[in-house]
Amino acid sequence: MSVLQVALPGLYGFGYTHRSHLAGGLMVLETFQNREVEAVFRAYPDDRRKKLMHLRHLIFHTASGNESIGPMEETLKWGQPSYLTSKSKSGTTIRINHIKSKPGQYGLYVHCQTSPIGMYLEIYPDVLNFDSKGMIAWPLTER
């Protein structure tokens, strides 16, 4: 099994890690920046943790590939893992969490008065499930 080490310079301030299996048999080894965020991830049931760790990985991976985004800050907002471009201020806060009102789903949230969800809706109307103006939802059963 291959191991992917997400190494973003200056991003991870704490020295602890969390392992998560992702689709395709990859194992991700990523360090949490924030102990409270790590505690939230540890509290998720395994099925939700795997999906949300994958979203977390995609957020950091995308940011690392674009210099204008800069380093991501990982924190909690409304008790949800949240990702900010606090240095560059180049984007809106992204939050990820399971959807409490729909136990079989998890989602990615942005502020409803920002443009990302509308832009994604135009580009991927038949691919993504837009549960609200500020959220993309996925079923836990989707691969």
What is the structure's pLDDT at 90?
79
pLDDT in tens, 70-81: 888 999 999 999
What is the structure's pLDDT at 129?
74
In the chain (143 residues long), the average pLDDT of successive 10-residue segments reads 26 35 44 92 92 91 84 92 87 89 87 68 74 78 80
User: Domain residues of the chain, as ranges?
Assistant: 3-139
8 A C-beta contact, residue 10 and residue 71: yes
What is the structure's pLDDT at 133?
66
Q: What is the pTM of this model?
A: 0.72
Identify which of 108, 90, 91 has the alpha carbon closest to the alpha carbon of residue 99: 108
What is the structure's pLDDT at 125?
74
Alpha-carbon distance of 67 to 44, in angstroms, equals: 32
